[in-house]
Each structure stands twice: as C-alpha cells, then as structure tokens.
Amino acid sequence: MRHFYVFKINPSVSKVFKNRPYEVFHTLEMLYYRNDDIHFGNRFVRQLIFPISIKELDIMLFKKFKNNYFYMKYKNVHSVHDFYRKESTVLSLYKTFIRLDTNVIKPCFLKELQEYNNFFVCDFESKDYFWLDSFKQSAVFI
C-alpha cells in the first residue's frame, strides 16, 4: 500500500525549484518527521505550501467520478474500489494537503489532479516524489 501526500506549492517557490524536485521533497520530508518546534514548522509551511480549495476540488472530483460504479464519496473522502482493475484507492482532502492511499501504480485520481498547477506528490516511506504536472499516465513508478 502506497501513501502519497499531495501539496500545493507556492508558485514563486515552484518556479525556483521546478527542476530540483529533490530539494522540495527533502524540505517536506524534514517537516513531516519534525517533532520538536511546531511553531517554526507551521510558519515555514505557510510560506512553502498554499491552502487547497477543498470545496472546489471536492465538487470537481464528484462530477468526474459520480457515474463510476466503483466510486464512493463521504464528506471529503473519495474512494474507488475497482475489482476488475484491482484498484483500491482512497483520496482524503485536507486544507494543506491531499492524502492518497492506493495499492496500484497509477491511481485514477492522479490524472484528474493534473489539471491543477504546482501540485507536488510525495511518498515519504518509499522516498518517491514528483511534480504532478510532469507526471505522465504512461510513466511507471514503484
């Protein structure tokens, strides 16, 4: 099971680090595992990450997937349990990030999220990261 976190990065930061995704990942990873100074971490996060428009994204995902037989929605949680493709994916929306738990290589929600700019995807456990707008559906990542 993969656990992806999707962040909307500040556009000015995105321009500077577009060709250096490791530096963005390393900074987010440092904040992810940080336990001591919460106030410093919160101030830094507000400069690096933009809030996500949960309502807009929630409505867009519902409109795209409402006719899918395997799709379910409860509050800000969207899930697809496709028995034919053997995909089980849960997308949870929060103000500062999106959490995507999946068992497949290419979850269906990533294609829909590509419409938005400056989204950065991280899997801290597997050390996997990429800019979502550069992600190709034909690309393979493990």
- Residue 142 located in a structural domain: no
3-class SS letters over the chain: CEEEEEEEECHHHHHHHCCCHHHHHHHHHHHHCCCCCHHHHHHHHHHHEECCCHHHHHHHHHHHHCCCCCEEEECCEEEEEECCCCEEEEEEECCCCEEEEECCCCCHHHHHHCCCCCEEEEECCCCEEEEHHHCCCCCCCC
More confident residue, 56 or 45: 56
Give the pLDDT confidence of 56-114 residue by residue, as tens digits: 999 999 999 999 899 999 999 999 998 888 889 999 999 989 999 999 888 889 888 88
Residue 141 pLDDT > 50: no
- Residue 139 located in a structural domain: no
At 100 the pLDDT is 94
Range of the domain at 114: 2-134
The domain that contains 85 carries what CATH number? Answer: 3.30.310.250
